[in-house]
Chain A
Amino acid sequence: MENLWIIVAMGAVTYLPRAIPLAVLAQIKIPEGFIRWLRFVPVAVLAALLAPELLLRDGAFDLSLSNHYLLAAVPCFLVAVKTKNLLLTVGVGLAAAILLQSYLPGV
């Protein structure tokens, strides 16, 4: 039972940072400088999340052939640049990741 209360509290501290900035900022006039600042948030968040995912394993840099995520990312980038098609990129990425796992195990 105590665990459930911890989980409810986890939910609360997760929800508030998600909802408050949107609810407040959408209803006030946002200074132009801040809008300019916010413009770079999506690309920065995406790159900041993605880079460790692809380049690190267990917290250390892994640029070897056994880093399948990094290898599978190559065709993903190519397809994304060429087509900008979300589903196609994901399909190619998954196919690459599964093929790598089957034929280049060496982990």
Chain B
Amino acid sequence: MMRKYWGKEMMSLPTTEATLKTANPVGELAAGVSQATPIMLGYVVLAMAFGILAREAGLTILETVAMSVIVFAGASQFIAAGMFAAAMSPATIILTTFLVNLRHILMSASLAPYLRGLKLHSYALLGWGITDETFAVHSTVYRERRRHHWFIYGTNFAAYAAWVSGTVIGALFGSIVPGIDQLPLGFALPAMFICLLVMQLSDRLVLYAGVLAAGLSLLFGQLWEGNWNIILATVLTATIASGWEKWKISG
């Protein structure tokens, strides 16, 4: 039950090279797309809400869609739309976007051990699609089984397509279909997170780490503005939990 030796577990999985040779990339791509269904559902709705909001904030249709095409990061886009509406300085908008999205550093780093031995352009493309939601799916899937990296392309592309098309719909037709963004369809994403969180709970220490991170995130959220609570809670939790684990193994 207890998986104590993470290093050993990692080694028992087939290497990326072996997966690359045996897996069928197109099949993996399709599997990735189908894995993305809950993400797509949540993204279409949230992106429509963003499209409507950004238009109300005074952005043109082109700018609204461009933001989803170029930035592809939900929370920061909502915040930026508000800042555009408040006519804040470009530097403030860009810096805020950077800070809000900085948490992806941790996600990007934690996928690295699973994705060794690829070409640089693959990393460039894989990194592009990292969002809270795609990361949540991939970190859960890869813990169980090593997949071809085209699986990730599939999930990311499907999520991206949903995000961009939802934005287009919201920006163009948002005012025509009132009320669609009032439905609680955005709950698809928290619901998905709940299931992925449960699937992460492989041993007791991981469970405690989750409880600790939740508490720290709430605490730091009360103390500071912005998204710092996510980064700080994650860094502190991983440090405490891994330190505890090492201390217990070494004696």
Contact B195 A89 (CB under 8 A): yes
Contact B113 A49 (CB under 8 A): no
Q: Which of A11, A73, A81, A98 contacts B183 (CB 8 A)?
A: A98
A94 CB to closest chain B CB, in angstroms? 6
Contact A44 B127 (CB under 8 A): no
Contact B187 A93 (CB under 8 A): yes
- Contact flag A42-B97 (CB < 8 Å), given A27-B116, A35-B10, A98-B183: no
Q: Which residues of the other chain, B, contact A81 by a CB distance below 8 angstroms?
A: 198
Q: Which residues of the other chain, A, contact B118 by a CB distance below 8 angstroms?
A: 26
Contact A52 B221 (CB under 8 A): yes
User: What size tier do the contact residues of chain B reach?
Assistant: 35 or more
Contact B70 A17 (CB under 8 A): no
- Interface of chain B: mostly helix, strand, loop or mixed: helix
Q: Which of B84, B95, B199, B237 contacts A40 (CB 8 A)?
A: B237
Contact A50 B195 (CB under 8 A): no
Q: How many chain A residues touch B (Cβ–Cβ < 8 Å)?
A: 72
Q: Which residues of the other chain, A, contact B98 by a CB distance below 8 angstroms?
A: 13-14, 17
Interface assignment of A64: CB less than 8 Å from any CB of chain B: no
Query: Total contacts A to B, CB within 8 angstroms?
Result: 283
Q: Which of B35, B71, B188, B242 contacts A36 (CB 8 A)?
A: B242
Contact B187 A10 (CB under 8 A): no
Q: Which of B192, B234, B239, B246 contacts A90 (CB 8 A)?
A: B192
Interface assignment of A47: CB less than 8 Å from any CB of chain B: yes
Contact A93 B191 (CB under 8 A): yes
B22 CB to closest chain A CB, in angstroms? 20
Q: Roughly how many angstroms separate A41 CA and B236 CA in the complex, as a whole number?
A: 10
Interface assignment of B136: CB less than 8 Å from any CB of chain A: yes
- Fill in one digit per residue for B90-120: 1 if any A CB lies within 8 Å of its CB, else 0: 1001110110011111111111110111101
Residues of chain A in range 4-60 having any CB-CB distance to chain B below 8 Å: 4-11, 13-15, 17-27, 30, 32-33, 35-56, 59
Q: Which of B97, B195, B214, B233 contacts A84 (CB 8 A)?
A: B195
Q: Roughly how many angstroms separate A41 CA and B206 CA in the complex, as a whole number?
A: 10
Q: Which residues of the other chain, B, contact A23 by a CB distance below 8 angstroms?
A: 120, 123-124, 127
**Could you list some 28 contacts between A and B, CB below 8 A?**
A4-B66, A6-B94, A9-B94, A13-B97, A13-B101, A14-B104, A20-B127, A22-B108, A22-B130, A23-B124, A36-B246, A42-B135, A43-B209, A46-B197, A47-B211, A47-B214, A47-B237, A48-B213, A48-B217, A48-B234, A48-B237, A49-B230, A56-B221, A77-B194, A80-B195, A80-B199, A84-B199, A86-B38
Chain B residues packing against A (C-beta within 8 Å): 6-7, 10, 35, 37-38, 41, 59-60, 62-63, 66-67, 70-73, 76, 80, 84, 90, 93-95, 97-98, 101-113, 115-118, 120, 123-124, 126-128, 130, 132, 135-137, 139-140, 143, 183-185, 187-188, 190-201, 206, 209-218, 221, 229-230, 233-234, 237-239, 241-242, 245-246
Which A-B residue pairs are the 8 nearest by beta carbons?
A: A93-B191, A19-B127, A25-B112, A48-B217, A11-B70, A51-B214, A42-B139, A89-B195
